[in-house]
Structure 1
Amino acid sequence: MYFGTATNQEQWSNKEYTELMLEQFGSMTPANVQKWMYTEPEQGVFNYTAGDEFANYALKNKKVLLCDTLVWHQQYPSWLDEKTWTKKDLLNVIYQHVYNEVKHFKGRCFSWNVVNEALNEDGTWRQSLFYNVTGTDYIETAFLAASAADPRAQLYYNDYNIEYPGPKSAAVENMVKWLRSKHVKIDAVGLESHFIVGQAATEAQQQQQMQSYIDLGVQVVVSELDVRFETLPPTEAGLAQQTVDYQASINACIKVGKQCMGISVWDFDDEYSWIPSSFAGQGDADLWYANFTTTPAYTGVVSALEAGIEKGYKSKEKLRL
């Protein structure tokens, strides 16, 4: 089991940030540079310079490399929207993109987020370019291409608001059943776990939903954990609740055992959080404040992880913060 963080290269020029990242986390996820708009900016023209820099840096520093993301309705290149596609041609483009990228990084990526956020809140399919042209075939195509390119990498579907029972999580379960019935390799479900303080799924709900996925024959991963405040600055009571909310995800993962492969936060320092630019007036979601001091949630997470180590996880280096 790993405990890691997403990050961007431009942040590594901050020495204090980089020292904390390398000291505290056992895995690294590239927040942007492996996404389609960067790796294939022109059709058939691949650019892995930034992705290679990230991958080589992570592996040089003996971190587990979690690769992200292959097919998503955001951050794909503009040339995809500039053409009128037949189903056959778009599926071929998706296959070639996924196969080429995964093949390039073969042997370096422990896992791949293959398809990201393909569902609406009510469990229906998101009306993306990929779905509108190919139906659900693009999902199968992406997983087939990834598994052909690197059979050893762990492949997962990733989404938000699927951490507790409901129509969206039920749709993910049906997706897993469908892919497995066709003998398509899917190894795990990624739970983004972007929560709001006081509104997060409970530990019991998360454990129940994780187990529901596991019972289908796949593993789970907490892939993008953070817990944001809707109103700033946070109160003392709010900070205490944030700690509880973080611990709920950690404990649920630990309780389902090794079928929860690991946990990643979506960056760890509020200075570099994605939230203020996406949710105006919200934030303070991470384990470190912008001045690199730890939050109460940090202490709570460490306590939960230490309890997990005592319960039998062998690799303290990768489990600890």
Structure 2
Amino acid sequence: MIFKGLNKYLSFSALIILGLTATLLISLPAISQPANITLRDLAQEQNFHIGAAVSIKALRNDPTYREVLAREFNMVTPENVMKFKPIHPERDRYDFTAANEIVTFAKAHQMQIRGHTLVWHRSLPDWLTETEWTREELMEILRRHIFTVISHYRGDIYAWDVVNEAVGCKDSLRKTIWQQGIGSDYVELAFRWAHEADPQALLFYNDYDGEGLGEKSDAIYSLVKDLLAKDVPIHGVGLQMHKSIKNPPKPEDVATNIKRLGELGLEVHITEMDVQIHNGTGTQEERLVKQAKVYQDILGVCLKAPNCTAFVTWGFTDKFTWIPRAFGQPDFPLIFDKSYRPKPAYQALVEVLSTANH
């Protein structure tokens, strides 16, 4: 009787324990950091690149930033420090200090590097923009800049964004210092010079609002098709993907665009993805779920396309993002929050990579 009573007591206790355990499990947050799995692990199983843009300030000053960056990603893009102005502040002087720090970190953690960017109409030094140049002078400045920067990192950079945002809203090149000072062939020249400087690096054209179907993506398609027809050494197109939950990209249109670029023989990288939530509707939690869906859809499209080989977010933690500064209001566009806790968007990427067959 004692044993029967004890068994009954133990069975009753076990039920209580099980009930408490279930209650605790239900009350846990929906998103938690997986103990034994990372985006990097999952991507490498797929022979795929998962990356993030790197803030030099954060890399220098935040140990948690460095730890999460190395743990979760196998590719990095310098966010600003390889652009023309910071790396070439005077006509006869280059400053590789900050960019070297990112490259050193990446190499130490076996991460591929996307060089960003060689030719852009923004982030230019005053010595360049406030002087009148002849066409020949401007060509030599650009040629020397490309050769100097690429040669400095020759063998270290996996892929370069050679020309950034050259296409305007209509089917024509944007009027920039390069287009007006050299002519529309500056794009072709830049790719040829980049290839001469490092024949092993992949060379990309990179732009925004060209991920789906429409006037801008048609113009980008025409540009790269014409370059290929001239035997210009271009290997891929970068789709920036700065989007919002209010106006998300249509996955089917992105898939069609990636496919037609692949038919030209070009790789595609998602190069600068972030997803704004401040202009969406619903509670914060609902907006974060919508954000996760955008990330999920785009990574899913990329993984299904044989020529889409990298997915890079523009930063990875809401602690360091350009969006609030640029748009003048708070936002939370990335996959980790300001305390480096994974958000629903992070879990969405984990789930897509876990079920993918790239």
Same fold (TM over 0.5): yes
Contact 2:278–2:331 (CA<8 Å) still a contact in 1?
Answer: yes
Matched, 1:256 2:298: no
Structure 2 match to 1:6:
53
User: For the residues of structure 2 that align with 1:295 and 1:234, how far apart are their CA atoms?
Assistant: 15
Q: Among residues 176, 186, 192, which one is paired with 1:128 in the alignment?
A: 176
Matched, 1:36 2:84: yes
Structure 2 match to 1:47:
95
Contact 2:236–2:267 (CA<8 Å) still a contact in 1?
Answer: yes
Structure 2 match to 1:241:
290
Contact 2:75–2:111 (CA<8 Å) still a contact in 1?
Answer: yes
Letter of the structure 1 residue corresponding to residue 352 of structure 2: A
The residue matched to 1:272 in structure 2 has which SS? coil
User: For the residues of structure 1 that align with 2:93 and 2:64, how far apart are their CA atoms?
Assistant: 36
User: For the residues of structure 2 that align with 1:95 and 1:234, how far apart are their CA atoms?
Assistant: 51
User: For the residues of structure 2 that align with 1:228 and 1:68, how far apart are their CA atoms?
Assistant: 22
Using the TM superposition, give the Cα deviation of residue 208 of structure 1 relative to its aligned residue in structure 2, in angstroms.
Answer: 0.7
Flag the 1:108–1:234 CA change in 2: closer, same or farther, 3 A.
Answer: farther
Letter of the structure 2 residue corresponding to residue 3 of structure 1: I
Matched, 1:203 2:203: no
**Residue by residue, what CA displacement relative to the aligned partner does 1:53-82 show, whole Å, maximum 9, x if unpaired?**
211111011111111110111111111112
Larger radius of gyration: 2
Letter of the structure 2 residue corresponding to residue 247 of structure 1: Q
The residue matched to 2:319 in structure 1 has which SS? helix
Structure 1 match to 2:28:
none
Structure 1 match to 2:40:
none
User: For the residues of structure 2 that align with 1:70 and 1:116, how far apart are their CA atoms?
Assistant: 8
User: For the residues of structure 2 that align with 1:231 and 1:181, how far apart are their CA atoms?
Assistant: 42
Q: How large is the RMSD of aligned CA atoms in angstroms? A: 1.4
State TM-score, norm by structure 2.
Answer: 0.83
Using the TM superposition, give the Cα deviation of residue 123 of structure 1 relative to its aligned residue in structure 2, in angstroms.
Answer: 3.1
**Residue by residue, what CA displacement relative to the aligned partner does 1:109-143 show, whole Å, maximum 9, x if unpaired?**
00000000111222332111111112212111111
Using the TM superposition, give the Cα deviation of residue 282 of structure 1 relative to its aligned residue in structure 2, in angstroms.
Answer: 4.7
Q: Which runs of 5+ in 2 are unaligned?
A: 1-47
Structure 2 match to 1:96:
144
Matched, 1:137 2:185: yes
Q: Which runs of 5+ in 1 are unaligned?
A: 314-321
Matched, 1:71 2:124: no
User: For the residues of structure 2 that align with 1:48 and 1:93, how far apart are their CA atoms?
Assistant: 18
How many residues are paired up? 309
Using the TM superposition, give the Cα deviation of residue 148 of structure 1 relative to its aligned residue in structure 2, in angstroms.
Answer: 0.2
Letter of the structure 1 residue corresponding to residue 229 of structure 2: S
Letter of the structure 1 residue corresponding to residue 346 of structure 2: Y
Using the TM superposition, give the Cα deviation of residue 234 of structure 1 relative to its aligned residue in structure 2, in angstroms.
Answer: 5.1
Contact 2:54–2:102 (CA<8 Å) still a contact in 1?
Answer: no
Structure 2 match to 1:227:
275
User: For the residues of structure 2 that align with 1:119 and 1:221, how far apart are their CA atoms?
Assistant: 18
Matched, 1:168 2:211: no
**Residue by residue, what CA displacement relative to the aligned partner does 1:90-121 show, whole Å, maximum 9, x if unpaired?**
11211111111111100000000000011122
Of stretches 23-32 and 226-235 in structure 1, the one that deviates more from structure 2 is 226-235
Contact 1:198–1:242 (CA<8 Å) still a contact in 2?
Answer: no
Matched, 1:280 2:325: no
**Residue by residue, what CA displacement relative to the aligned partner does 1:35-65 show, whole Å, maximum 9, x if unpaired?**
1112211113222122222111110111111
Of stretches 140-149 and 233-242 in structure 1, the one that deviates more from structure 2 is 233-242
Q: Among residues 117, 131, 137, which one is paired with 1:83 in the alignment?
A: 131
Identity of matched residues, %: 31
User: For the residues of structure 2 that align with 1:153 and 1:78, how far apart are their CA atoms?
Assistant: 30
